[in-house]
Amino acid sequence: MSAPSVAVVGGGAIGSMAAWQLATRGFAVTVYERYWPGHNEGAGGGGTRMFRRVYAEGPAYGPLLDASWRLWRRLERATNTDLLHRTGGLAIGPAHHPVLAGGIDDAERRGIPYELLDADALTDRYPQHTPLDGEIALFDPEAGVLRSNLAIRAALDAAVAHGAELRTGTTVHGVADAPGGRVEVATDTGAERHDHAVVAGGPWARALLPTLPLKTRAIFHTWHFVDDRQLLRPERFPITLRRSGPDLSYGAMSALDGTRVKLAPHADYPREVEDVDTMRRHVRTDWQRRSTALVHALLPGVSPDPVESQIYPESFTPDGHAAVGALDADARVVVLAGFSGHGFKLAPGFGRAAADLVATGASALLPPEVALDRDFRAQVSIRDLVLDSDPA
């Protein structure tokens, strides 16, 4: 008997990992990707993403995070590629901020190593940061920087090595029921039938999943040269989430090229994107100036003027948790959407969960927060979300 066939719609961060995990379990996988492996148009663009082991979003994410941690290393071994560069991580802000309080709670409950640094200890160890009155830092020794575009490419390579077929330059226009309990995937070159479909369209997912409350938003990054290359080399510059007030909050990490750091200012003007294909990717000068002001105030050793800036789209749910699950009892269609600014680090875990769902209809890795049938109406302000990068 031939292996059940699975269409993976979207070969980005999540779809590539789902394809890898499904292919290693023996499913006959076909990946439909409108661009090409590791392209820069989607939510994983820009070269790097943060990996945090201490997770303020809550201990229910523990199994997914732990599985992801192991799978990142496995993918590195399988493809002989350096994907997760360990730098450690800092969360800086007042002790009561959810990023710190939630992080400490999570680390305690899951037994994850961490350290608390007061302002003096922070200055001694990490003079790259200027502490403000009343701030502390939570250090996460296992955090690091993921090479995002490369990781997507690596996962697709690993999937292909296990027999997956990759259809690049192929856009899926719909997934529908087909006779015999199968699904039909309509593409711009015709329709094909499979036993299952895994839909992972990222910022484009709204078109395929109109009933889910997804919104696409734009997130911008700026890149800055480092003035002090010794102090800001990747091993000395932990990924940083700073929550020091409305105009003093950002995410920052090394660009891993030895010359630049990447900054994502926390912005209070969330910009919704109607159509990803026509969205404006230009970063306005006043937005870039936010980065300049932040670097001036808080990051000595970094050059305040951006040397590069980019906008990337991401799909958000109203409550900031992803939407993952099977649409029917036989898991013919599995959906992974709405990763809301923090899906990359968890992508291999979500990929494994997708394979679990296809194989058995359930996955022990998934926290209840991501259930498809939850009450999405609990609207949360964008400011309340714990994002690695914040919408512009």
Ligand X SMILES: Cc1cc2nc3c(=O)[nH]c(=O)nc-3n(C[C@H](O)[C@H](O)[C@H](O)COP(=O)(O)OP(=O)(O)OC[C@H]3O[C@@H](n4cnc5c(N)ncnc54)[C@H](O)[C@@H]3O)c2cc1C
Closest contact distance (angstroms) between CB of 355 and ligand X is 15
**Nearer to ligand X among residue 96 and residue 389 (C-beta):** 389
**Nearer to ligand X among residue 139 and residue 316 (C-beta):** 316
What six digits make up the tokens of 102? 């939630």
Closest contact distance (angstroms) between CB of 68 and ligand X is 9
DSSP state of 284: P
Strands 323-326 and 333-337: antiparallel
**Nearer to ligand X among residue 104 and residue 172 (C-beta):** 172
* Residue of the chain from 20, 27, 32, 316 that contacts ligand X (CB under 6 A): 32
**Nearer to ligand X among residue 130 and residue 310 (C-beta):** 310
Residues 144-203 that bind ligand X (CB under 6 A): 171-172, 200-203
Closest contact distance (angstroms) between CB of 104 and ligand X is 20
**Does residue 314 interact with ligand X by CB under 6 A?**
yes
**Does residue 266 interact with ligand X by CB under 6 A?**
no
* CB proximity list for 390: less than 8 A, separation 6 or greater: 219, 249, 251, 264, 265, 266, 267, 341, 382
Residues found in the chain: 392
Instruction: Indicate the residue type of 367.
Output: P
**Does residue 295 interact with ligand X by CB under 6 A?**
no
Cβ atoms of residues 253 and 261 within 8 Å: yes
What six digits make up the tokens of 179? 């006779």
End-to-end CA, the chain: 51
Cβ atoms of residues 276 and 204 within 8 Å: yes
Distance CA 375, CA 384 (A): 18
* Residue of the chain from 8, 29, 44, 254 that contacts ligand X (CB under 6 A): 44
**Does residue 140 interact with ligand X by CB under 6 A?**
no
Reported as type and span, the H/E element at residue 4 is none
* Residue of the chain from 149, 312, 319, 382 that contacts ligand X (CB under 6 A): 312
Residues that bind ligand X (CB under 6 A): 9-15, 32-35, 42-44, 46, 49-50, 171-172, 200-204, 208, 219, 221, 312, 314, 339, 341-345, 388-389
